[in-house]
Structure 1
Amino acid sequence: MSNQKPVPGTGGDHYIPYEQRSGKESVVYFTRDLSAEGLRKIYARISGCLTGKVGIKLHTGEPHGPNIIPRPWVEELIRKELPEAAIVETNTYYDGGRYTTEDHRETLKTNGWTFCPVDIMDEDGTTALPVKGGKWFAELEMGKNILNYDSLFVLTHFKGHSKGGFGGSNKNIGIGCADGRIGKARIHTTPGSDDQWDISDEEFMERMTESAKAVADHFGEHISYINVMRNMSVSCDCEGTAAEPVVTPNVGILASLDILAVDQASVDLVYAMKEEEHHALVERIESRHGLRQLTYMKELHMGNDRYHLIDIDNGDQEISPADGVKNLAPFQSAE
């Protein structure tokens, strides 16, 4: 295990304003249109890199989870844009409705994910993907069937998370592609420990991010990301019906070819809200040191934390985060 200490100024409880960041800028697309049509519209902006056999990494949720991306949106997107694609998932590390493949398939039926193939990628075992430049892993175990796909479309419900602070694209593939027994255990638990969740906050962020890097590197230029900022409970979809009530306003949908940029922009939009609107989600993010996900992605050269924010609802108008993403307020749901 590494004895490295966090880089000064990158603590996961410390939000770094846009003007204090440096480096290149990526493109992030934004729409306020929280609907099936809005999802299709923004998907078109980042779909060109998806070739061959496409997997859709989607958090399908615990039974009857109230906050997951609406099934009809995904069904329409797949039917009209990705008719040959499959949703890809892995079994969970915790005991619940998706712990075994058999239970997982029952939960998929319960939640209505029956309109296209769903590949539980670790059903038949694991494969180890290399982690380039990691300090915790040289390789990490993923669901074996990840090797069957040429491209990955990461479709994420952005929300809080009890362990990660927030769950964006980084969490979706970092945890969601690791297999349920080996890969997830290596991210969450010190070898030999009796405590399933004993990895400390910032170390956990780094381990999860190294896993995400392995997935992103595996697909190279054939991976793209969407974050749906709707029904943002402080709880993850893995908590199902036990999730905390939603108190954060809906925002819209963001898309990018850059995993760091799309997660950073999503976090920036949360921090741009009024105190009474974002206090619960910000408290969840900072108390878990979740912002370390962002700084560690940057250290691993996974993307840029500066970006051009393109408002596709208004003729591709560029909104400068340096001038304050509050320019997007008031946040309105188009549902």
Structure 2
Amino acid sequence: MSSKVFYSTMQNKGLQSPLSKITRLLNKCDPKSKYGSKQLVAVKTHFGEYGNTAFLKPVYLRPVIEKLKQLKCNPFLADTNTLYVGMRTNTVDHLHNAFLNGFNYSTFQIPVIIADGLRGENSLDIPVDGELLDHVKIASDIYNADAMVVVSHFKGHELTGIGGAVKNISMGCASRQGKLIMHSISKPVVHKEKCTSCGLCAANCAADAIVFGPKAEITEACTGCTRCVAVCPESAIGIDWNESSDNTQRKMAEYAKAIHDHFENKIVYLNFITDVAPTCDCFPANDTPVCPDLGFLASTDPVAIDKASFDLVAKHSPDGIDPFGKIYEEIDPIIQLKHAEKIGLGSTSYEIKMVK
């Protein structure tokens, strides 16, 4: 069965604000039936790594927040700490990064919350009936929200081919330990040439899984919480990115289904096809866009909106074919969508409804 995907192009002959298009798209998803007075509504987005300029422009979030305020909700901007070491590894640096990129209280008059705690430790284990996973680890302050609007910058991705709504509610809503499960089949690793044996990793390890001999060593007692990655001042502990792209995508779909099912009908998805970089906004830089700015999409189906976004990018790329496939020849980005459809998250069959 086809899902409805509402689409508005960047064409603007009447010289109306593009922001009004976003409002109309959101209204097509019947927000009055999903968001109510005093509800804590997470506006899940990606704040962009410092140095990247392709991330979603903060101004595009304004109509979403204004609509939620009109419905007397209590919205907040939400993201989670990263698995890699960078400007978004812990909440203090992450908030500083977000504010520098324009995601701050003075811009929106709503709080900005890093949903998985100071160093990614605020996590809930949620059971799932997946093919690869029997539980997922979700950021507590995402899971405890009353509802959510998922605002995704559609783009390429070096591991999964594409990043859109499915990635935003899987990787983007997982705690650091959950991100490790999706990315790796092993525990963190110590780069001993960088280790100074300062002992901070062992002092912060809840499982007492780190010993010294004389450099840090991670034992079999490790639970994979990755707190050691966040606290190491020398970046001497890292991730073995050894999971296959196919399985990472399937795990993403199962994480996404857990979040989607949790919020039931209290979730709407918006994809923005602007500044479509070939790589993730987690990079501290970005390359030339692979297609022109195409506009905005809205749906209650995360699978359909990602498939529609993918097809639009392919159609409008310079040679009319999938530009991500040329960059990442060994990655099939549709695996995440096919698996998501298989487990009941949504449909790859969609009907575009144009909204002026």
Q: Same fold (TM over 0.5)?
A: yes
2:271 is the counterpart of 1:227: yes
- Cross-structure match for 1:43: 26
The residue correspondences of 1:278-297 to structure 2 (distance < 5 A) are: 278=321, 280-284=323-327, 287-297=330-340
**CA 167–65 in structure 1, closer or farther in 2 if over 3 Å, else same:** same
**CA 33–42 in structure 1, closer or farther in 2 if over 3 Å, else same:** farther
**CA 252–149 in structure 1, closer or farther in 2 if over 3 Å, else same:** same
% identical aligned pairs? 29
- Which of 1 and 2 has greater Rg? 2
2:45 is the counterpart of 1:68: no
How many Å apart are 1:81 and its aligned residue?
Answer: 3.8
Q: Which amino acid aligns with 1:191?
A: S
How many Å apart are 1:190 and its aligned residue?
Answer: 0.6
Distance across 2 between alignment mates of 1:278 and 1:95: 35
How many Å apart are 1:68 and its aligned residue?
Answer: 1.6
Gaps of 5+ in 1: 1-23, 314-335
The residue correspondences of 1:306-317 to structure 2 (distance < 5 A) are: 306-313=349-356
Distance across 1 between alignment mates of 2:57 and 2:114: 20
The residue correspondences of 1:183-262 to structure 2 (distance < 5 A) are: 183-192=178-187, 194=189, 196-240=240-284, 242-262=285-305
Q: Is the 8 A contact 1:260 1:298 kept in 2?
A: yes
Gaps of 5+ in 2: 12-17, 190-238
- Cross-structure match for 1:109: 99
Of 14, 19, 29, the residue aligned with 2:6 is 29
- Cross-structure match for 1:142: 138
Q: Which amino acid aligns with 1:114?
A: N
**CA 306–279 in structure 1, closer or farther in 2 if over 3 Å, else same:** closer
Q: Which stretch shows the higher mean deviation, 80-89 or 101-110?
A: 80-89
2:112 is the counterpart of 1:118: yes
- The Cα RMSD (Å) is 1.9
Distance across 1 between alignment mates of 2:312 and 2:145: 32
2:42 is the counterpart of 1:55: yes
- Cross-structure match for 1:302: 345
Q: Which amino acid aligns with 1:308?
A: E
How many Å apart are 1:280 and its aligned residue?
Answer: 3.2
Q: Which amino acid aligns with 2:86?
A: G
**CA 223–236 in structure 1, closer or farther in 2 if over 3 Å, else same:** same
Q: What's the CA shift string for 1:244-268, capped at 9, x where partnerless?
A: 2213111111111111111111112
Q: What's the CA shift string for 1:47-83, capped at 9, x where partnerless?
A: 2323432111101111142112211221343135436
How many Å apart are 1:274 and its aligned residue?
Answer: 5.1
How many Å apart are 1:288 and its aligned residue?
Answer: 2.1
Q: What's the CA shift string for 1:276-299, capped at 9, x where partnerless?
A: 365533324653221101110111
Distance across 2 between alignment mates of 1:265 and 1:279: 13
**CA 193–71 in structure 1, closer or farther in 2 if over 3 Å, else same:** closer
Q: Is the 8 A contact 1:178 1:184 kept in 2?
A: yes
- Cross-structure match for 1:13: none
How many Å apart are 1:37 and its aligned residue?
Answer: 2.0
Q: Which stretch shows the higher mean deviation, 106-115 or 63-72?
A: 63-72
- Cross-structure match for 1:163: 159
Please report the TM-score for the alignment, with normalisation by the length of structure 2. 0.76
- Which portions of structure 1, spanning 4 or more consecutive aligned residues, are displaced by more than 4 angstroms? none
Distance across 1 between alignment mates of 2:135 and 2:343: 15
- Cross-structure match for 1:79: 66
Q: Which amino acid aligns with 2:75?
A: A
Q: Is the 8 A contact 1:248 1:281 kept in 2?
A: no
Of 84, 88, 108, the residue aligned with 1:94 is 84
How many Å apart are 1:308 and its aligned residue?
Answer: 1.8
Q: Is the 8 A contact 2:325 2:331 kept in 1?
A: no
Q: Is the 8 A contact 1:271 1:282 kept in 2?
A: no
- Partner SS state of residue 78, structure 1: helix
Q: How many residues align?
A: 287
Q: What's the CA shift string for 1:210-245, capped at 9, x where partnerless?
A: 1111111111111111110111010111113x2222
Distance across 1 between alignment mates of 2:301 and 2:140: 25
